[in-house]
Chains A and B, each alone.
Chain A
């Protein structure tokens, strides 16, 4: 399948630039989560990956912002420039071109197999009780939508997903677990996500994926990336074991 080019819809507000310390510029594309903001951020991130500005060290995209880390020494050119002013100016200059680039939407939908309930989803019943749905209905509604990976963060390979069915929103557990296994799929408020590393956590766990989300030995160490779309596919415990054998 080839990526589908899409024209960028106009942004509701102009891009705001401000410093994060003395070695980063934040570009803020809006103040709330929206598909337009997401597409604009991915367009500029894509552009800057292809055409880095002087001194550019690293990019971090988030829900409404793209942060550009830079090397002040390189931007100062032996004291000729004030580094932040120069970084901001270079970014302002390229924004129109960057925003006008057509963004190739990831055509492929990433499928994440999940074994729901039982030992893999100890909080499925609690989510069902909170939402007034049956456990089966929770699973159906969780595996129905196409989610958007808005950003990565919190831990290596951890996706922040948009698109959870509002009916499934459930507050975090009052008592966080000391250890949540990697692959655990959970709900926290109106968010859903997948733990990529074993870590303490307070999300309501409804299932687990046998897939590894992160491996430092992969050339691209994270399975998921900002801008991708994904769907959860329910699997049985036997299928989970099969996947796990295949993964390791």
Chain B
């Protein structure tokens, strides 16, 4: 089974949930920017949550499916169509061989995820299929997809096959059919225009002036055009430290808000470096990484302080919701 890339779109890469265990050697995690969206897409087609899919950025690709397939699209609303007809997000979709997936206007959010039953079967590198663009490895030859690429997919799981058969039976006249149900807004939120991002104070929070601490929580920041998979440069009130003490490099992670000398913060994303030497003012909670991943350059965002205990409660609640969805899919798939 395979997918033929007719048009690659703006930036389409193979991603899974990331490459863990090598940060000690300076090798970044990578993986889906909106990991929850990829996990949900995978569950909807009967895959393991960590299977590889495609991360599609703003302007989507055109893809022809060379065999019967089961797919799901999650994350950003980028006006997807199958053979020219609009197709729904956040649900399993069956299609016959030869069906073409295309995208139109980016309506909401930045990054959509395409999961195919069985998963995108490029060779894993260091235990992951994620594309690491800067070091040119992982994914398909370490690069973004190009026209003419052919991506293999593995065999669907038994649950995926049952979902496929059930949907195929409902497709009477068309080359494709979609489920009528979706997991609901908790796991599939519609991306917001100017979202509030929850964060906890970072290790160097106390080094910032009281005015800067207050400004960080109370004033909006604009996402500049320097916003990519490594991080977003934000523009807003200048944030100042009370000390000019040079810091020694230490670990940074997805969601770390670091502030270089100029006072304009950078929030680190999926392709963040493993260590950094800028003061870490705040840390976006894991439950809101998906919201951050869907923000576009030019949009505003606000930070809201929460406690570590709240952050972890939200983390656990989301994991519980994902587990409930997995059980539900297993029931539908008849596992």
Contacts and interface: CB of A to CB of B under 8 A. Distances in A.
Nearest to B276: A153
Contact of B23 (A60, A73, A76): A60
A216 interface: yes
A158 B137 contact: no
Given A21-B253, A63-B248, A84 B26 contact: no
Contact of B319 (A24, A73, A82, A199): A73
A194 B22 CA distance: 19
Contacts of B315: 22-23, 72-73, 83
A156 interface: yes
Interface in A223-239: 225-226
6 contacts: A23-B315, A62-B248, A62-B275, A65-B251, A155-B134, A222-B26
Interface of A: 18-24, 26, 32-33, 45, 57-65, 67, 69, 72-73, 76, 79, 82-84, 151-158, 160, 196-197, 199, 214, 216-217, 220-222, 225-226
Interface string B130-150: 000011011000000000000
Contacts of A59: 24
Contacts of A33: 248
Contacts of B23: 58, 60, 69
A24 B20 CA distance: 14
Interface of B: 20-28, 125-126, 134-135, 137-138, 200, 202-203, 248-253, 255-256, 273-276, 280, 283-286, 308-309, 311-312, 315-316, 319
A84 B249 CA distance: 23
Contacts of B203: 18, 20, 26
B331 to A, nearest CB: 21
Of the listed residues B26, B280, B285, the one surrounded by the most CB atoms of chain A closer than 10 A to its CB is B26
A216 B137 contact: yes
B134 A197 contact: yes
Of the listed residues A18, A32, A72, A79, the one surrounded by the most CB atoms of chain B closer than 10 A to its CB is A72
Of the listed residues A60, A61, A196, A199, the one surrounded by the most CB atoms of chain B closer than 10 A to its CB is A60
A197 B135 contact: yes
A22 B256 CA distance: 11
Given A22-B308, A62-B249, A155-B135, 12 more contacts: A20-B280, A21-B286, A23-B286, A45-B24, A58-B20, A62-B275, A64-B248, A152-B25, A153-B274, A153-B276, A156-B135, A197-B134
